[in-house]
Structure formats: C-alpha cells, structure tokens
Amino acid sequence: MPPDPTFHPVSADGAQPPYVQAEQALAHAIATGALTPGQRLPSERHLCEQLGISRVTLRRALQSLGEQGLVVSSERRGWRVRQVGFTHSAGAATQAGFAEINRALGRAVTARVLLARTRRATADEAERLRLPAPSRVFELHRIRYLDGLAVCIAQDLVPSALAPALADEDFTTASLFAQLAARGHTVATASCVARAALATPRQRGLLDLDSRRAAPVLNVRRLSYDAEGTVVAASEELYRADRYELRITLG
C-alpha cells in the first residue's frame, strides 16, 4: 500500500470554489494511483490541514466524489477509494473476447447494439485490415454490460469475406469472437495498444457517467489474428476506469 499522498492548499481566490479544487486534487490522486483502490483516505483533519479548508468544504468534496463512484464511506472507517468492480488479465485479453473472458469468470454479459451493418471499407480501414480495395466490412458498435452495469463501448470491424451474414446475428448476447470461430477463424493472437483518455460528453452518457464532469477511461485498440496470421477483427474498446481494470504482468 503506497503512503498517503501530500496535497497543496487550495487557492482562496481561484477560478473554482474551494470544494471543487479539493475534489479535483483528490480525484487526481486517485487517477494517478497515488491513492489506490481500497486504500483508506487520510483523516478528515489531515486533509483539511493540507488543503487549507474546513470540514464542511471537505465533506462537500467527498460527497461529490462519492456520487461519481470514486470513493465510498462507512461510519466507523472513514472514506476509502472505491474498489474496481471488474478486472481481467492482459494474457487473457489478448487471445479471447470480452464475452468469453467475463463469462468464464461467472459474470452476466449483455450488450446494447448501437450499430450493426455491412458497408464498404474506407482506405484507412482496408489498410489496417490488410484488405484489397474495394472491400466490404461488417461494422458493430455496442455498449457492453457486466451484471447489468455499463463498462465498455466497443467498436469492431470484420472483413465481410471472412464472416458472411454477421448482420443477422443477435449481438445483444452473441459473442463476436465465437461467431468468427464458428466460421473457421478462431483468434490466436492479438496486438493491443492501451492509453488513458477522457470520455467525450457522448461517451459519458453511454457509459452512465456524470455528464457534467470529466471522466477518465481506458482506450484499447486491438488487431486480432487467426492461426494463419489473417487479420480477423479491428477493435476499439473504451472502458470505464472506475468499473473495469486491466492487469498486466511483465517478465
């Protein structure tokens, strides 16, 4: 467990009210890992002294963080950083789909389909999927849910020639990777790039985040290959940082 972070006093004549500055300072400590999931926050007295604010101001900031799902409180044990609700390992993430990983962990996996269509690939898409031009792709946009909670916005592109009639499938429950496997293209390897980002207003709405506040998300771009090295899907997944965690072991 890391040591308690230190905070600079808020500005009495700043552009934001003191409680907002305190809220932002604590949210930044959580986002950067200075305060980790499950860690107890420093005492109210300690935070008030460091931030230079009253307990009334601090409690207003903590209440707002609680409404955002970043911290939780208990009467006897003070405030803690909220535990991430769902997690998976990077090893599993590179070779299996979202549904397979989470169903294997006993989670209920559902989706709301935003878009499912077959269309001509753009030049950039054809290059990424290693397709000749012109080619057609199946495009799928979904909000993915675990145990009824929105955790991910997923956008997938699949070469139509590899998997005909995907538009006829019910992707509220069906797994895209399972459909690919049924057509002879089981995912064997994948390359991924992950980066931190801030959700756009539209993304905050789709993920049930507070539309009035900036919210950190994890953006994962992935190319999936079958055993013969054919690109079978190009995916982009945007995860709620407070509900989903990707664990990576190096070495």
Confidence of residue 35 (pLDDT cuts 50, 70, 90): confident
- CATH architecture group of domain 18-81: Orthogonal Bundle (1.10)
Question: Mind listing the pLDDT tens digit for each residue in 196-214?
Answer: 888 999 999 999 987 777 7
Domain residue spans of the chain: 18-81, 86-247
Confidence of residue 93 (pLDDT cuts 50, 70, 90): very low
Burial 163-190 (b: 16+ CB within 10 A, else e): beebeebebeeebbbebbbeeebbbeeb
Kindly tell me if the per-residue pLDDT of 147 is higher than 80: yes
Rounded Cα distance between 25 and 14, Å, is 14
- Contact residues for 76 (Cβ-Cβ < 8 A; gap 6+): none
What pLDDT score does 101 carry? 80
Class of domain 86-247: alpha beta
Rounded Cα distance between 33 and 37, Å, is 8
Residue with tokens 């950083």: 81
Residue 40 sits at φ, ψ, to 5 deg, of -75, 135
| Segment holding 50, helix H or strand E | helix 44-51
CA distances from 66 to 60, 73, 140, 182, 228 (A): 10, 8, 34, 44, 49
pTM for the predicted model, two decimal places: 0.67
Kindly tell me if the per-residue pLDDT of 4 is higher than 80: no
Q: Which of 198, 192, 85, 199 is nearest to 146 (CA)?
A: 85
What pLDDT score does 62 carry? 93
Rounded Cα distance between 140 and 116, Å, is 5
What pLDDT score does 14 carry? 77
